[in-house]
Amino acid sequence: MEIKKVTERIQNDLEELARFTATPGSGCTRLPFTKEARGAVEYIKKEMAEAGLLVWEDAAGNVFGILEGENREAPCIMMGSHYDSVINGGNFDGIAGVACAIEVARQLRERGVPRKRSFVAAGFCDEEGTRFGTGFFGSGAMLGKWDVEACQRFKDTAGISVYEAMEEYGLDPKRIKEAEWRPGSIGCFIEAHVEQGPVLAAKGTELGLVDCIVGIQRYMVTVKGRADHAGTTPMDMRIDAMEMAGRVISSLPGWAREYEDGTVATVGYIHASPGGINIVAKEVQFSVDIRSRSNRHIDEIAGRLKEALEAASVACGGSYEMEQKLKIRPLHLSEELLAVMERACMDRGYSYQRMPSGAGHDTLEIGQTIPSVMVFVPSKDGRSHCPVEWSAYEDLAKAAVLSADLVEAVLCGQKTSRAILCGYG
């Protein structure tokens, strides 16, 4: 009974929110500080108010709804996700987590859960970074990581800065620092999100409990050889950049598979020059993206990559450069919150599995300083960041019920540790 009602409310919210897109009929395009973002925020505010929450929009364009507890000074429990989307994205990424957070507030009231502390539902602005090439703008601002100078520095492809876009949207970028929450005021953070990958759907598992957000290292590798005639240069007298690159690239997937712990390694970009069918390649450039829940495994693959480039250079007579583009350490989520969620799954009879998240999410930003946890909902065929992105409303409802169980346990739990109640900060 409960699930049916919850499912209907989430479906209604998400269908209404899907209207706020710049590309009707071609998926969701809801970039920050646009009229589509404004439409979504106004709808979220209305739903939060109807759920009995105290609503406000902060200086960064984040929207919050508070269900006040007896002690307003006590660190709150926050749950939320982002309301922006990529270009021609889906109707679930981010926004489904906002709908779930509002739904949790409704359930807490309906269950009559006594609240010592406040529960806060949040809709974050600009997680994707699609427009300004940033990422985690709203959640970052909440943590005090943005200032006026940074707002002026980042610009979209039309040359409009975050600063200008905010003014146009009706926010005062000079007040961006006011979006910061006092350290220690958020006790813990929960994010429900669609998986955006194929694992849960393929296994028929109802929910994923995210225990880790994987670390990432990215490299751009340039292998240098010599351009020669493809017909007249004997095999033992050429310095073939493609041969060198090929040896390394073909080894990479095997290194990742050896770990059998979900470690992945990808070459998603390759470019050969001069790029002629009858010319030995002078230079080959390719990208390497390595992700794992284990930082040691990432380091080891990066080390083997370097060794293999070294060996290929010696064998073929060329040279190489390996430039690191990104380095993020894995983030391990709150074991204490995970344990509560696991128990709640068993009590409810929901099938679940622990899993890492291969993508970032607001939790990657927030979880650095605040005990956090994520719950994943299956994505149909693993598709995301495209118009066919789909998750079953009933699965989202289960994520919301589970999150409400978790919040109830933390609100009422005597056994909850100081770390969860007070945050790390």
Of the candidates 190, 305, 318, the residue with the CA atom closest to the CA atom of residue 251? 305
The residue of the chain with the least Cβ separation from Zn ion equals 94
**What is the per-residue binding string for Zn ion in 279-318, x denoting contact by CB under 5 A?**
----------------------------------------
CB of 100 to Zn ion, least distance (A): 13
> In sequence order, what E strands does 126-278 have?
186-194, 207-213, 215-224, 264-266, 270-273
CB of 193 to Zn ion, least distance (A): 6
CB of 94 to Zn ion, least distance (A): 4
Nearer to Zn ion, 83 or 320 (CB): 83
- Is-contact 351 279, C-beta < 8 A? no
Angle at 318 between CA 273 and CA 216, to 5 degrees: 75
Q: Which long-range contacts (CB under 8 A, 24 or more apart) does 228-231 make?
A: 228/279, 228/280, 229/278, 229/279, 229/280, 230/277, 230/278, 230/279, 230/280, 231/278
CB of 96 to Zn ion, least distance (A): 9
How far apart are the C-alpha atoms of 315 and 305, rounded to whole Å? 15
Nearer to Zn ion, 93 or 243 (CB): 93
CB of 93 to Zn ion, least distance (A): 4
Nearer to Zn ion, 36 or 93 (CB): 93
Question: Beta strand 186-194 with 76-82: parallel, antiparallel or unpaired?
Answer: parallel
CB of 7 to Zn ion, least distance (A): 21
**What is the per-residue binding string for Zn ion in 381-400, x denoting contact by CB under 5 A?**
--------------------
Beta bridge partners of 57: 63
171: DSSP letter: -
Nearer to Zn ion, 267 or 359 (CB): 359
How far apart are the C-alpha atoms of 272 and 260, rounded to whole Å? 32
CB of 90 to Zn ion, least distance (A): 10
Instruction: Report the Cα–Cα distance between both ends of the chain, in Å, rounded.
Output: 40
Total residues in contact with Zn ion, by rule CB under 5 A: 2
Nearer to Zn ion, 201 or 256 (CB): 201
- Restricted to residues 193-212, the positions that interact with Zn ion (CB under 5 A) are none
Beta-carbon count within 10 A of 253 CB: 12
Nearer to Zn ion, 94 or 423 (CB): 94
For the chain, how big is the Rg over CA atoms in Å?
24
CB of 318 to Zn ion, least distance (A): 41
- Restricted to residues 83-102, the positions that interact with Zn ion (CB under 5 A) are 93-94
For 320, list phi and psi in degrees, rounded to 5. -150, 160
Angle at 175 between CA 171 and CA 180, to 5 degrees: 110
CB of 191 to Zn ion, least distance (A): 9
Q: What share of the chain is helix, strand, coil (3-state, %, to 5)?
A: 40, 20, 35
CB of 92 to Zn ion, least distance (A): 9
Nearer to Zn ion, 94 or 140 (CB): 94
How far apart are the C-alpha atoms of 99 and 63, rounded to whole Å? 12
Binding of Zn ion by 191 (CB under 5 A): no
Nearer to Zn ion, 94 or 197 (CB): 94
Nearer to Zn ion, 199 or 265 (CB): 199
Handedness of CA 49, 51, 57, 58 (dihedral sign): positive
- Is-contact 218 289, C-beta < 8 A? yes
Of the candidates 187, 163, 174, 115, the residue with the CA atom closest to the CA atom of residue 366? 187
CB of 82 to Zn ion, least distance (A): 6
Nearer to Zn ion, 93 or 283 (CB): 93
Nearer to Zn ion, 33 or 124 (CB): 124
Where does this chain bind Zn ion (CB under 5 A)?
A: 93-94
